[in-house]
Chain A
Amino acid sequence: MTGLTHRLAAWSARFNPLRQSAFEFLQSPFLKQLLHPAPEAAPVTLTQRRLYILPTRHGLIFALMLLVMLLGSINYANSMGFVLTFLLGSLAVVSILHTYRNLAQLTISAGKSAPVFVGQEARFHLSASNTGNIPRYAIGLRAGKDVAGFTDVAPNHAAALAFGLPAQRRGLLRAPSFNLFSTFPLGLFRTWTHLDLDINCLVYPRPAAEALPLPAFQAQTGQGSRHGAGQEDFSGLRTYRNGDSLRHVAWKAVAREQGMLTKQFDGATQQELWLDWDLLPGMDVETRLSRLTRWVLDADTAAQRYGLRLPGRVLSPASGAEHRRQCLETLALFGL
């Protein structure tokens, strides 16, 4: 019995080098590249190394029909039957070139993706630009199982393409790989390219569903005697700065064509709104981020100045779209 085991072990040991090299092959950068290529930086030009072409299902049916036609022509010795069969066969073959050319040499570049909240759909924008002078028709984009849409690209123009993906987790969502394809003009062949571009969409945490009262104002720490930019008593006008609430724009001044001016108020109480991680004890991280996100949105809607305090990261109070964006981005990327 042991003899047999030994012999088996010895026998299998003879294959060790082979196994070793097979393992090495599987680990080789070449195969890795082939199986899981790293996302590429856009823009990408569709050269012949990237384009594949195969008959569609319609193409196969067409081929079957041609076969029947050929057999019929042979059997009836019908010369015009031969002519038509060969003409249609040649038509299909020529259409390969046209289908291929429809996608070849397009340059695909990535556009900016607008940030979304968890639960919304992240939209990835692409642009296909046609530097040649042949118009391209019906270029399809397929992400996953669904065809996201078709576009035409005029010569020396670029066309926009987009596809969506439900955002399920906060953070940076990398676009999945996708296919660009075309069956134009006859639908008998499909040419396609598989692209895995380095496009990202920022996903903010899902805002907590229930409306939660904003936390109480806190007395300003530090130089408390300074004039706070409050909201109560009008104290003058200054030029509009990015981030100022639109509610405080002096629209009458705008109407008089004096430019955008912001009304300034003296705060009666020098208090500030802090959206603080520590105000939400006893919750897990995601729930806390979710609440904080809700607060940021609510505070922004109320056009209040607010600050965000997270472990290891503090954003001093401000207001406006840019501040809101910064806060949400910080929340989205917290701990990642």
Chain B
Amino acid sequence: MTKLAWLLASIALAIAPHLARMPLWVGPLCLALGLWRLAIERDNRPLPQKWLLLLLAGAATAGIASHYHTLFGRDAGVALLVVMSFLKLMELKALRDTMVVLFLGYFLVITGFLYSQTIPTALYLLLVVLINTATMIGYNDVNDGLSVRPRLRLAGILLAQAVPLMLLLFVLFPRVGPLWGLPKDAFSAVTGLSDSMSPGTISQLIRSDAIAFRVKFDGPPPHRNLRYWRGPVLWDYDNGTWSTRQPRDRAPAQLLPLDKALSYTVTLEPHNRRWLFALDLPETLPPGSRAGRDLTILAQAPVQQRLRYSLSSATRYRFDVDPDAGEMERALRLPARGNPQARELAGRWRSTLKNPRAVVAQALGMFRNEAFVYTLNPPLTGPQAVDDFLFATRRGFCEHYAGALVFLMRAAGVPARVVTGYQGGELNPLGDYMIVRQSDAHAWAEVWLEKEGWVRIDPTAAVSPNRIESGIAAALPGAELPPALLQLDAAWLRRARLSWDLLNNNWNQWVLGYDQQRQTRFLSRFNRALASWQGMALAMVTGIAALLLGIASWMLWHTPRRGKDPVHAAYEKFCARLARRGIARATNEGPADFAARATRMRPDLAQQIGFITQRYIELRYGRRHSTRLPELRRAVRRFRP
């Protein structure tokens, strides 16, 4: 009963993190199967018939197939594994079946890592491994010689001894790329910017405090109001939504930096999109990436792993002073109809103001001086989204302002486009790096001006300067803040959060981000030859041999003394001392007989021998007295025949 309970507990712990992602019926099914199995064990009933199990397995498989529309891929595969491991519990006949279930337990742990590799997950799953191992020990401990605590202790010792070997293998095992294609659902449920923007897109994203990327600057970081992290540039407006086609394969437009370049390294969380983020505007591109004319940087494939790249940017520049005619045309294009009020206003500006610069200033002045409100919960707008926002609701988030501004500019004949990305970032003083979260998501505008090229215009800064200077939490009224952003106040809390992020960052960089590149760099630090395949193989073999030798000798020499009975030990010492004087105790001789014989041979020691023997017999066979053992020990210590 206990062994089975352990087995059930191991499997239940292993599947627990998966259940939230499974179809709703999986959890109750597993619970029912587990309880059924326990009842069978308790009542000593036979295990269910094979046909019944096959029926259940078939039904479960069909259920999973209909939920995921496939049986392949990560999610469906894990669901199958979960259900099958519980069904396997129903046919435990021999030790082999049990071992298979235990192996499935380990396998469920590794599938857990496909979804999350954070420190808490790792700790939890390590605990599952410990319990699974203890269960395995229990099943191989045929006579139940070990109770719960020593069983867990032995599992702990085994795992602790395995850790040095594991570290060696982790560091030295050569990292190579994927061996074959991954299932489509290998990377899903990630938050991040999308390639289109409509009212509400960014204000939704703002509610998540998930990390978008972390940045380490080689020098001092730029001032807060220069921290614009450029993402996808959106060109095309249709029916309230800004979007962009994949840009044609063209070289970036000419960029003339006006200040010293800032070098930095970005560690981007996977977002399953191709674009990479860079400080506005990048002078160099990360290796293996390319950028269109508008400097949207694209990786070769969607970013599905945490990605590290280094590049440099200029914060003051002249960008694309001699534009492409087709691109200018695209930057002025608007749908034929819609938003008449906005068009009329822009037309008025166009005819009364002498140059585009004045048009831009006019628009920003309007946002600044009229009753526009920066809010996370803007009212819904109708089909004439820009008109509704500009003339009716006047409440919006950054996507409303950026979208409306670009619409107005285009209508007024000023080339303009929407840029999405992030603005701001929190400096972690503990680790000297910057954290950019999804809550820093932002949208702004770029207009093209004669002689200056593309110029960044942020209408949000006009409505709510705090957003740019101090961040989103300072810009919004407290009641509007989503819970994820409320935690910034208490200093100690902030410090704890930053320490935790530092730990996570190191974990990401060194454990999770330990890839081929990092491995080579790390190993070259010790020895250039070590970073080669042969070097790693040789180091692995010698390292494993040395570690095993060390563990083996530790096991041989470090023999636990605690287990020895102190009473017995003291008595053995007494016998050894007599043996040295030629009075050896025979194996079949009881303590009383031995004492009698010894006294006959050495009458001078009669008193001591008698005392020690009496104490020994009392301690061995009589009731316990706390003073007896020290007395025995003292007597033996003084006993010098």
| A residues at B contact (CB < 8 Å) | 57-58, 61-62, 65, 68-69, 71-91, 93-95, 97-98, 101, 132-135, 137-138, 140, 150-152, 155-156, 183-187
Query: Are B143 and A65 in contact, CB atoms less than 8 angstroms apart?
Result: no
Contact across chains for B179 and A137 when beta carbons are under 8 A apart: no
Q: B52-91 toward A: CB 8 Å interface, digit per residue (1/0)?
A: 0000000000000000000000000000000000000000
Given A87-B129, A97-B551, does the pair A69, B166 have CB atoms closer than 8 Å?
no
CA distance A76 to B179 in the complex (A): 9
- Which of B142, B305, B564 has the largest count of A CB atoms less than 10 A from its CB? B142
Partner of A90, one of B100, B166, B561: B166
Q: How far is the CA of A140 from the CA of B140 in the complex (A)?
A: 11
- Tell me the bound Cα distance from A101 to B110 in angstroms: 30
Are the CB atoms of B559 and A79 closer together than 8 Å? no
Mark interface residues in B140-184 (1 if CB within 8 Å of A CB, else 0).
111101100000001000110111111001100101111110100
In the complex, what distance in Å separates the CA atom of A138 from the CA atom of B512? 40
In the bound complex, do residue B170 and residue A86 qualify as a contact, i.e. CB atoms below 8 Å apart? yes
8 Å CB interface, B491-526 against A: 511-515
Collect the chain A residues with CB atoms within 8 Å of residue B107's CB.
65, 68-69
B133 interface residue per 8 A CB criterion: yes
Q: List 9 A-B contacts (CB under 8 A).
A: A58-B99, A68-B107, A69-B107, A75-B179, A75-B180, A76-B186, A88-B129, A91-B158, A138-B141
Residue of B110, B146, B511, B559 contacting most chain A CB atoms (<10 Å): B110
B103 on interface, CB distance cutoff 8 Å: yes
Are B133 and A91 neighbours in the complex by a CB distance under 8 Å?
yes
Contact for B512 among A79, A135, A185, CB less than 8 A:
A79
Q: B182 to nearest A CB, angstroms? A: 7
Q: Contact check, A186 vs B166: say whether CB atoms are below 8 A apart.
A: no
CB atoms of B133 and A186 under 8 A apart:
yes
Across the interface, do A133 and B561 meet the contact criterion of CB distance under 8 Å? yes
Residues of B within 8 A of A84 (CB): 106, 109-110, 113, 125, 129
Contacting pair A80 B163 (CB below 8 A): no
The answer on a CB contact under 8 Å between A77 and B159 is: no
User: B287 at the A/B interface (Cβ < 8 Å)?
Assistant: no
Chain B: CB-nearest residue to A159: B143
With A74-B176, A83-B170, A155-B563 in contact, do A69 and B110 touch (Cβ < 8 Å)? yes
On whether the beta carbons of A94 and B161 are closer than 8 Å, the reply is yes
Residue of A at shortest CB range from B100?
A: A61
> Does B555 sit at the interface, judged by CB under 8 A?
yes
Contacts of A138 in B (CB 8 A): 140-143, 145
A333 → chain B closest CB, angstroms = 30
Known: A78-B117, A86-B169. 5 other contacts (CB 8 A): A65-B106, A71-B179, A80-B121, A137-B145, A187-B99
Tell me whether A83 and B166 are in contact (CB under 8 A).
Answer: yes
Q: Across the interface, which residues of B come within 8 angstroms of A90, CB to CB?
A: 161-166, 169
Return chain A residues, CB-CB under 8 Å to B117: 78-80
Q: Which residues of B contact A88 (CB under 8 A)?
A: 106, 129, 162
Q: Is the interface of A mostly helix, strand, loop or mixed?
A: helix
Are A137 and B158 touching (Cβ within 8 A)? no
Complex-state Cα separation, A75 to B186, whole angstroms: 11
Output the least CB separation between B133 and chain A (Å).
Answer: 7
Contacts of B512 in A (CB 8 A): 79-80
Contacts of A133 in B (CB 8 A): 559-561, 563-564
Partner of B163, one of A62, A87, A152, A155: A87
A89/B169 in contact, CB under 8 A: yes
| Residues of chain A contacted by B106 (CB below 8 angstroms) | 65, 84, 88
Q: Considering the complex, which residues of chain B in the window 94-125 have a beta carbon less than 8 Å from any beta carbon of chain A? A: 95-96, 99-100, 103, 106-107, 109-110, 113-114, 117, 121-122, 125
When distances are taken between beta carbons in the complex, the residues of chain B under 8 Å from A78 are 113-114, 117
List chain A residues, Cβ under 8 A from B559. 132-134
Give chain B nearest CB distance to A52 CB in angstroms.
Answer: 17
- Which partner residue on chain A sits nearest B544 by CB separation? A93
Q: Are B154 and A185 in contact (CB under 8 A)?
A: yes
| Residues from chain A with Cβ under 8 Å of B29 in the complex | none
| Complex contact A186–B100 (CB within 8 A) | no
Q: Are B95 and A187 in contact (CB under 8 A)?
A: yes
* B555 in contact with A101 (CB, 8 Å): yes
B103 in contact with A57 (CB, 8 Å)? no
Contact A185 B137 (CB under 8 A): yes
Shortest CB-to-CB span from A123 to chain B, Å, is 20
Bound CA span A164–B276, Å: 75
Cβ–Cβ contact B159 & A87, under 8 A: yes
What 5 pairs across the A-B complex have the smallest Cβ distances? Answer: A90-B165, A90-B162, A86-B169, A152-B145, A80-B113
What residues of B have a CB within 8 angstroms of the CB of A98 in the complex?
A: 158, 555
Q: Which residues of B contact A134 (CB under 8 A)?
A: 559-560, 563
Across-interface contacts of B178 in A (CB, < 8 A): 74-77
B484 contact set on A, CB distance < 8 A:
none
Contact B143 A135 (CB under 8 A): no
Q: Is B601 an interface residue (CB 8 A)?
A: no
Q: Which of A61, A75, A94 has the most CB of B within 10 A?
A: A94
Docked-complex contact B169 and A61, CB < 8 angstroms: no
In the bound assembly, the distance between CA atoms of A296 and B141 in angstroms comes to 47
Q: Contact between B515 and A77 (Cβ–Cβ < 8 Å)?
A: yes
B117 nearest CB neighbor, chain A only: A80
Residues of A within 8 A of B552 (CB): 97
CA distance A77 to B301 in the complex (A): 15
Which residue, A58, A156, A185, has most C-beta atoms of chain B within 10 A?
A185
- How far apart are the CA atoms of A58 and B103 in the complex, in Å? 9
**Do A91 and B159 touch across chains, with their CB atoms under 8 A apart?**
yes
Query: A123 to B96, alpha carbons, bound, how many Å?
Result: 30
Closest B residue by C-beta to A150: B142
Beta-carbon contact of A185 and B560 below 8 Å? no
Q: Closest CB of chain B to A66's CB: distance in Å?
A: 9
Judge if B548 is at the interface, Cβ distance under 8 Å. yes
B139 contacts the other chain (CB 8 A): yes
Q: How far apart sit A98 and B544, CA to CA, in the bound complex (Å)?
A: 17
The answer, among A57, A71, A85, A93, for a CB contact under 8 Å with B548, is: A93
Which residue among B95, B158, B164, B563 has the maximum number of chain A CB atoms within 10 Å of its CB?
Answer: B158
Output the least CB separation between B569 and chain A (Å).
Answer: 10
Instruction: Enumerate chain A residues within 8 angstroms of B180, measured Cβ to Cβ.
Output: 75
B15 interface residue (CB < 8 Å to A): no
| Complex alpha-carbon distance, A88 and B105, angstroms | 12
Flag if A76 contacts B114 (CB, 8 Å).
yes
Chain B residues, Cβ within 8 Å of A57: 96
Q: Which of chain B's residues have a CB closer than 8 A to the CB of A135?
A: 145, 563
> What residues of A have a CB within 8 angstroms of the CB of B141 in the complex?
137-138, 184-185
Bound Cα distance from A134 to B557, whole angstroms: 11
Residues of B within 8 A of A72 (CB): 110
Cα A80 to Cα B107 in complex, Å, equals 13
- List, in ascending order, chain B residues with CB within 8 A of A82's CB: 169-170, 173
The verdict on A76 contacting B162 (CB below 8 Å), with A91-B133, A140-B142 known, is no
A79 touches B110 (CB 8 A): no
A81 close to B110 (CB less than 8 A): yes
List, in ascending order, chain B residues with CB within 8 A of A68's CB.
Answer: 107
| Nearest-CB residue, chain B, relative to A88 | B106
Q: Is the CB of A93 within 8 A of B145?
A: no
Q: Is B136 an interface residue (CB 8 A)?
A: yes
